Amino acid sequence: MIFSGKTVGIIGLGRIGEAIAKRAEGFKCPISYYSRTEKRDSKYKYYPSVVELASNSDILVVACALTEETHHIINREVIDALGPKGYLINIGRGKHVDETELVSALVEGRLGGAGLDVFENEPSVPEELFGLENVVLLPHVGSATVETRTAMADLVLGNLEAHFLGKPLLTPLV
C-alpha cells in the first residue's frame, strides 16, 4: 500500500493525534477526525461519528484516551465502514478495539489490514494475527526513547522527593 495521498481519519485529535496529522500532511494525506467535540480552530474536517469518519477514511488511526465511552469504539460497524480496502492503526489502548471483531474482519477480508502495538488482553495477542500477511504487530514502544525514559525516571524521582518532603506530588493519582 502506498501511504501518500491516502485519507487519514484520526480518532482523538489531542496532542498525539495532532502530531500524527502533521506527519501525515507531509505525505499529502487529507486529514479528518472524530473527537468528543469539534475543535473550532482545527483546519481538519470533523465527523460527528466514528462510523462516518471510518466511511470516509482509507486509514483510521486510534489515538484517543481510554474511557467508558471509547471502550470498543472500534466495533463491527466501524470496521465494516472502513471496509476491505481500509487499514486500522491502533496506537491508543488495546481495549479501544473489539479484538474478536477485528480478527474476524481481517480473516474474512472485510478489513484491508491493521497495524497494532496494543492489544485488548495484553500481554496476550490473538494467535490468528500472527499468520496474517495484512497485519503488523509491534510491542507498545512509542515511549522507548532515551529522552522519554529519562524524563519518566526524573518524574518518578521528583514524585518520591515531594512525597518524602511532605509536598504535593508532581503527578498525583486521582
pLDDT digits (tens, 9 = 90+) for 6-43: 999 999 999 999 999 999 999 999 999 999 999 999 99
CB count within 10 Å of CB 170 equals 15
Is 110 within the bounds of a domain? yes
Task: Give the chain's end-to-end CA distance (angstroms, integer).
Answer: 43
Does residue 87 share a domain with residue 70? yes
Is 170 within the bounds of a domain? yes
**Residue 108 annotated among the catalytic residues of the structure:** no
Catalytic residue among 18, 93, 96, 120: 93
Q: Mention every residue, 6+ apart, whose C-beta is less than 8 A from residue 86.
A: 54, 57, 58, 59, 60, 111, 112
Residues 100, 121: Cα–Cα separation, whole Å: 11
pLDDT surpassing 90 at residue 172: no
Does residue 149 share a domain with residue 131? no
Is 3 within the bounds of a domain? no
Residue 16's CATH number? 3.40.50.720
Does residue 162 share a domain with residue 121? no
Helix (H, G, I), strand (E, B) or coil at 7: coil
**Residue 149 annotated among the catalytic residues of the structure:** no
Residue of higher predicted confidence among 135 and 140: 135
Catalytic residue among 71, 72, 76, 140: 140
pLDDT score recorded for residue 152 = 87
Mean pLDDT of all residues in 146-163: 90
Cβ(169)–Cβ(157) under 8 Å?
no
Residue reference for cell 471509547 = 70
**Residue 122 annotated among the catalytic residues of the structure:** yes
Please give the residue range of the domain that contains residue 68. Answer: 8-140
Strand partners, 87: 59, 113
Which burial class, exposed, middle or buried, applies to 61 when counting CB atoms under 10 A from its CB (0-12, 13-18, 19+)?
buried
Q: Mention every residue, 6+ apart, whose C-beta is less than 8 A from residue 50.
A: 11, 34, 73, 74, 78
Is 2 within the bounds of a domain? no
Catalytic residue among 38, 77, 122, 161: 122
pTM for this model (two decimals): 0.83
Residues 33, 65: Cα–Cα separation, whole Å: 14
pLDDT surpassing 80 at residue 142: no
Does residue 171 share a domain with residue 119? no
pLDDT score recorded for residue 1 = 73
